[in-house]
């Protein structure tokens, strides 16, 4: 049994919308993969731009693919882990099959090998890509929710000018109509309302009421 398990290779990709590295590792172990045969691509530090990597930047995936031999299983938590897009997932699956190996996705107890029909393989690749795309908005919403809860991001519509205290309404009117030192966006930000709301309340920017009345005659 130990010798058979040693033939499996596991792959983990850390990414938005995917299970955590710990959850993926648990799935691989449950499938019989020894931890020393697990390859992990982690998200790089450095912010948003650093996460926009090319498929070729998944160096651990390239390493595990090079390590595959005929009869070996490549085990993943789900087929979505294996690539970053439908094209990438497909290219990786076909590369595994070309090596005479197979792919096993623990989540669905799914095996894809050289005997799997081509149309079935294509359908599974497409389904994995769709699952990956669906998970990304969910993950983005979770991140936004945490930021809102922590006070780092405020959401919701800005109040109308009429909701401001009377003295602030007058100050906002003066800034909107006469203060050339501030841009329209800066005035809006100063009073916590939108530029559109200021325009609706006081008219065009930098056009006092008397000028507006003369311009309409």
**Domains of the chain by range and CATH?**
2-135 (3.40.50.1390), 161-216 (no CATH)
Q: pLDDT band at 59, cuts 50/70/90?
A: very high
Q: Which of 61-75, 109-123, 140-154 has the lowest mean pLDDT?
A: 140-154
How does 2-32 read in b/e, with b if 16+ C-beta sit within 10 Å? eeeeeebbbbbbbbebbbebeebbebbeebb
Neighbouring residues of 52: CB distance < 8 A, sequence distance ≥ 6: none
Give me the pLDDT at residue 27, please: 96
Tens digits of per-residue pLDDT, 64-96? Answer: 999 999 999 999 999 999 998 899 999 999 999
DSSP 180-215: TTS-HHHHHHHHTS-HHHHHHHH-STT--HHHHHHH
Mean pLDDT of 31-42: 94
3 state DSSP class of 103: strand
pLDDT at 173 over 50: yes
Q: Would the pTM of this model clear 0.75, i.e. be above it?
A: no
Distance CA(71)–CA(178), nearest Å, equals 78
């Amino acid at each position: 049994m130990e010798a058979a398990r040693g033939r499996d290779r596991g792959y983990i990709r850390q990414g938005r919308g995917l299970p955590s590295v710990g959850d993926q590792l648990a799935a691989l172990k449950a499938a019989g993969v020894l931890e020393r045969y697990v390859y992990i691509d982690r998200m790089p530090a450095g912010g948003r731009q650093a996460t926009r990597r090319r498929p070729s930047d998944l160096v651990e995936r390239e390493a595990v693919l090079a390590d595959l031999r005929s009869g070996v299983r490549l085990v993943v938590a789900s087929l979505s882990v294996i690539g970053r897009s439908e094209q990438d997932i497909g290219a990786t699956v076909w590369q595994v099959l070309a090596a005479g190996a197979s792919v096993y996705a623990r989540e669905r107890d799914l095996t894809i090998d050289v005997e799997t029909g081509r149309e079935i393989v294509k359908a599974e690749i497409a389904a994995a890509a769709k699952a990956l795309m669906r998970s990304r908005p969910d993950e983005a919403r979770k991140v936004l929710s945490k930021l809102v809860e922590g006070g780092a991001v405020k959401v919701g519509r800005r109040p109308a000018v009429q909701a401001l205290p009377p003295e602030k309404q007058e100050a906002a009117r003066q800034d909107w109509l006469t203060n050339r030192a501030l841009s329209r966006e800066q005035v809006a930000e100063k009073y916590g309302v939108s530029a559109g709301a200021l325009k609706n309340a006081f008219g065009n920017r930098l056009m006092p009421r008397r000028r507006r009345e003369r311009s309409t005659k």
